[in-house]
Structure 1
Amino acid sequence: MALTGIQIMKLLPKKNCKECGFPTCLAFAMKVAAGQAEIDQCPYVDPKVKEEIAEATAPPIRTVVIGTSETPYKLGGETVLFRHEKKFENPPLIGTYLNTSMEDQEITRRIKAYQQLRWERVGNLLKPEVVCVRDEGNGERFITLIKRVREELPELAIVLDSRDIETVKQAIEACGGSIPLVYPGKVENLSSWGQMALEKKVPLVVSANYLGELVPLVEGLTKQGLKDLVLDSGALHPKELFEDLVIIRRAAIKKRFKPFGFPVITFMDRYTGDLSEQYLLASIFVAKYASIILVSDLKAELLFPLLVERFNLYSDPQKPLVVEEGIYPINGPDAFSPVVVTCNFALTYFIVSGEIEGSRVPCWLLVKDTDGLSVLTAWAAGKFNADNIAEFVKRSGIAEKIKHRTLVIPGYVASIKGELEEELGGWEVVIGPREANGLPTALKELAKKLRS
């Protein structure tokens, strides 16, 4: 059971030294209880007490870390069943396979796919992050593949899929500074694998034929001292997998059932050979409740919407999606290109920038910080009016990039045109369309005017 702030306070040294960053030990204890601070921030806590508090305040789904120290990936760490309750913490890793039976040409194609399939959205890079390297009876090639992944895709998390414990030991060494996830499948000598995972300090996947079979396996490994586990329920049908993942999450969070308090790995190619259907299933398990999702191949037209779904689900619903304030050049603008100003609400930015890109008119897009509010809301809140738009335009440096003094404002704030021209002094303010889909026509006409 989680400790309250008062209970944590009683275990602290009560120095009120402020070295933790909080004014009092009580304030610090309340933050630790709320999950907003780590007990490690206190330099004077007894190590045994620290371990006790860390265990008591840990999320019901254990956080398992794989990858490198430069690019760590956290699995699990979840505290809620539904995103609206708080937020989902660690997005599932998405990726595909490299098998020892594959031709070199196919392996090269897949590595290039990892390197090329990446998109930027609201300052975040959307990309696949995990690769499962499968040993199909060729240990030497297995090690060679891992070394190639580490060399050409150093930021990827690696799943080692092999039934040979000695080969896996060599593979772990080949991973260098990266912590892999070891997947031995349904092996009989699981305790030997647990001992190896303990010695090598790597997390281990526990697989079973059905959900109930997982419990004694997990309990046996935790008694050995292994804490970093990932579950594979062994479900043979998508409906069964869906039910298993809901049961695991609900039992861990609602009942604090420790054998199910771990991240889950899923394999979409188990259920269908059709790639489109695999991605369709993956879209379900992004929400319910996979920590790693593996598909049989990476295709841009299928991967991108899945990554966008994941991004949207794992963003904090209590915080608006925003883009950074600044100047965004679109379509290669020059000194005579139109200048458009808008707010930093992410949806507004994507709609406006998308219409500008589609128009093929080179433009300067000025994005003003409005605390993530849309145009009308920001105007009503006093965050997108003549005074602060003028101040932003002056300090943005856009005047140094252009040879005209024309600014396009959203049609919804047409009423500020006169006041904004007074504040800017020497600038002409053009009222843009009320809806973004009117931008292409308006910008084409303005671009001709500015160059005439």
Structure 2
Amino acid sequence: MARRVPAIQIYALLPKTNCRKCGVPTCMAFAIKLSAGEAEVDACPQLTPQNRIKLQELLAPPVRRIVIGVGSRTLKIGGEEVLYRHEKRFNSPTAIAVALSDTLSQERLKEAVAQVASFNIERMGQPLRVDALAVIDEANSPESFSMAVELASFSGLPLVLSSRRPEVLEAGLKVCGDLRPLIHAANSDNYIQMVELAARFNCPLAIAGEGLDNVIDVVNRVAEFGLEDLVLDLTGRNPRSTLSSLTLARGLAVRFNVKGFGYPLMVFSPSYTGYGVYEAAILEAAMVARYVSLLIIPSAEPWRLLPVLVTRQNLYTDPQSPVQVKPGLYEVNKPDENSPVLVTTNYALTFHSVLEDARASGVPCWILVVNTEGLSVATSIGGKKLTADVFIEAVKSSGLNERIKRKTLIIPGIAARFKGMVEEGTGWKVVVGPRESAGLTKFLRSYAAQ
């Protein structure tokens, strides 16, 4: 279950003045909002410094939130409180970074950086983008690494600098240390030098090791230096060990509050021998589902990025607040007063599927989006959010009667049973369309040819 601090425990640390400066009537009401995660500690101006620190520690999520980058190019990972999103919600979507080797030529590096920076595909009205670039030390040369880092910094994206050699990382940090990249990685052999670099440049530090026991040992050693902004690299020898480590580490942090594992988790998606394109996509999607906070993949090709970006988008939505679009009337392909009107729900995935398939037909039409509280057509019909009365009211309230001369509604095939009632209630001709949006392009072209 989601961790929740009792409101009475929070109230004990509040000033109890009921000053209302936090925006609620009483300190108890503010405590209840803090307990529910609906307010911030800093909203109380009368907290003593000591109690403010105590409250922040009391309410801190079991997985520490880490910030990579500065200013407009910051990336926040971690901050998770639950293992299953139906318990509450996931807070920070998995960050996707693309790896760049410092063995590439300058021209190839420039091309790769430009490709990553410009990648942007819209789905459900939301942009799907890469979140960061990871510069990988493969040349064993501080000069090559610093050159690659400099080119990567022009992307405007947060950076991950990856090397096990402190002198190589120092060369890269001299180029972009003020951008607060993630330093990767400290292990049992180099952690003292890595801690010194992280402290000097004020950067978060990734910890890597052979297995969970080794990782937690390095975490404990690093903690002695007072470093708190850590990320745990749990890349294993094979997919099974990686997925097992991710699951166990997050469970220990969230369910059992084991402090050593209370940090964001990262994984390099390696090319495991015997795994092809499809297997790699499945493994990366599985890693997103198994709590990885930062996933570094080796390619910026769309076929490699899209599966993991779509998986992330699907998982990191609030299940209690479906992704919705605004109800109303939308134009497609420059419709006029004689164009048909398609009717669908305001669930974002449904709407954008209908929109793109209608556009692809080339047929001018309107889309009337009705408010079903973000539910799909089938779900809203089953839950009685989409009924004949809803269709009728949507037509009347939309102003369509005044705008459209050739009054033709096209309703989803799954809603065919409402046809007669809607015709009677609106006076419009109702045409039953395909059951799935995938059939809409062909349907509209056939309809227009009549």
Which bracket does the TM-score occupy, shorter chain normalised? 0.7 to 0.9
Offset at 1:302?
3.1
Q: Is the 8 A contact 2:341 2:368 kept in 1?
A: yes
Render the CA deviation track for 1:389-426: whole Å, top value 9, x for unaligned.
3223459xx94xxx8554424152422234334xxxxx
- Residue of structure 1 in register with 2:241 after alignment: 240
- Residue of structure 2 in register with 1:378 after alignment: 385
Does 1:45 pair with 2:47? Answer: yes
Q: Is the 8 A contact 1:410 1:433 kept in 2?
A: yes
Offset at 1:143?
3.0
Partners of 2:82 and 2:321 in 1: how far apart? 17
- Residue of structure 2 in register with 1:220 after alignment: 221
Offset at 1:445?
4.7
CA RMSD of aligned residues (A): 2.9
Offset at 1:434?
5.6
Distance 1:214 1:387, change over 3 A: same
Q: How many residues align?
A: 434
Partners of 2:75 and 2:56 in 1: how far apart? 20
Distance 1:101 1:372, change over 3 A: same
- Residue of structure 1 in register with 2:368 after alignment: 366
Q: Is the 8 A contact 1:131 1:159 kept in 2?
A: yes
Render the CA deviation track for 1:317-342: whole Å, top value 9, x for unaligned.
22223223355444x33436543232
Does 1:207 pair with 2:208? Answer: yes
Q: Please identify, of 30-39 and 248-257, the stretch whose mean Cα deviation from structure 2 is larger.
A: 30-39
User: What is the DSSP-based 3-state SS (H/G/I as helix, E as strand, rest coil) of the residue aligned with 1:379?
Assistant: coil
Render the CA deviation track for 1:411-452: whole Å, top value 9, x for unaligned.
52422234334xxxxxx5443426245544542354356xxx
Q: Please identify, of 269-278 and 139-148, the stretch whose mean Cα deviation from structure 2 is larger.
A: 269-278
Partners of 2:274 and 2:20 in 1: how far apart? 58
Q: Please identify, of 239-248 and 181-190, the stretch whose mean Cα deviation from structure 2 is larger.
A: 181-190
Partners of 2:322 and 2:262 in 1: how far apart? 30
Render the CA deviation track for 1:334-386: whole Å, top value 9, x for unaligned.
4365432322123432442343244342433232333213443323496x332
Does 1:137 pair with 2:140? Answer: yes
User: What is the DSSP-based 3-state SS (H/G/I as helix, E as strand, rest coil) of the residue aligned with 2:10?
Assistant: helix
Does 1:122 pair with 2:128? Answer: no
Give the 5 Å matches for 1:302-451: 302-330=304-332, 332-335=333-336, 337-375=339-377, 376=381, 377-380=384-387, 384-393=390-399, 399=403, 405-410=406-411, 412=415, 413-414=418-419, 415-421=421-427, 428-433=428-433, 435-436=435-436, 439-448=440-449
Distance 1:328 1:198, change over 3 A: farther
- TM-score for the superposition, normalised by structure 1: 0.86
Q: Please identify, of 85-94 and 138-147, the stretch whose mean Cα deviation from structure 2 is larger.
A: 138-147
Q: Please identify, of 351-360 and 102-111, the stretch whose mean Cα deviation from structure 2 is larger.
A: 351-360
- Residue of structure 2 in register with 1:286 after alignment: 288
| Paired letter, 2:259 | K
- TM-score for the superposition, normalised by structure 2: 0.86
User: What is the DSSP-based 3-state SS (H/G/I as helix, E as strand, rest coil) of the residue aligned with 1:175?
Assistant: helix
- Residue of structure 2 in register with 1:425 after alignment: none
User: What is the DSSP-based 3-state SS (H/G/I as helix, E as strand, rest coil) of the residue aligned with 1:284?
Assistant: helix
- Residue of structure 1 in register with 2:262 after alignment: 261
The gaps in structure 1 that reach 5 residues or longer are 422-427
Offset at 1:176?
7.0
Which of 64, 67, 74 matches 1:65? 67
- Residue of structure 2 in register with 1:104 after alignment: 106
Q: Is the 8 A contact 1:100 1:145 kept in 2?
A: yes
Partners of 1:232 and 1:179 in 2: how far apart? 18
Partners of 2:177 and 2:327 in 1: how far apart? 39
Does 1:148 pair with 2:155? Answer: no
Does 1:183 pair with 2:190? Answer: no
Offset at 1:97?
1.3
User: What is the DSSP-based 3-state SS (H/G/I as helix, E as strand, rest coil) of the residue aligned with 1:340?
Assistant: strand
The gaps in structure 2 that reach 5 residues or longer are none
Partners of 1:441 and 1:290 in 2: how far apart? 41
Render the CA deviation track for 1:120-148: whole Å, top value 9, x for unaligned.
12221112212111233333343333333
| Paired letter, 1:140 | E
Offset at 1:312?
0.8
Render the CA deviation track for 1:211-230: whole Å, top value 9, x for unaligned.
11122321222232211100
Partners of 2:45 and 2:347 in 1: how far apart? 40
Partners of 1:3 and 1:222 in 2: how far apart? 26
Render the CA deviation track for 1:236-264: whole Å, top value 9, x for unaligned.
12211122112111111121110011111
Distance 1:381 1:249, change over 3 A: farther
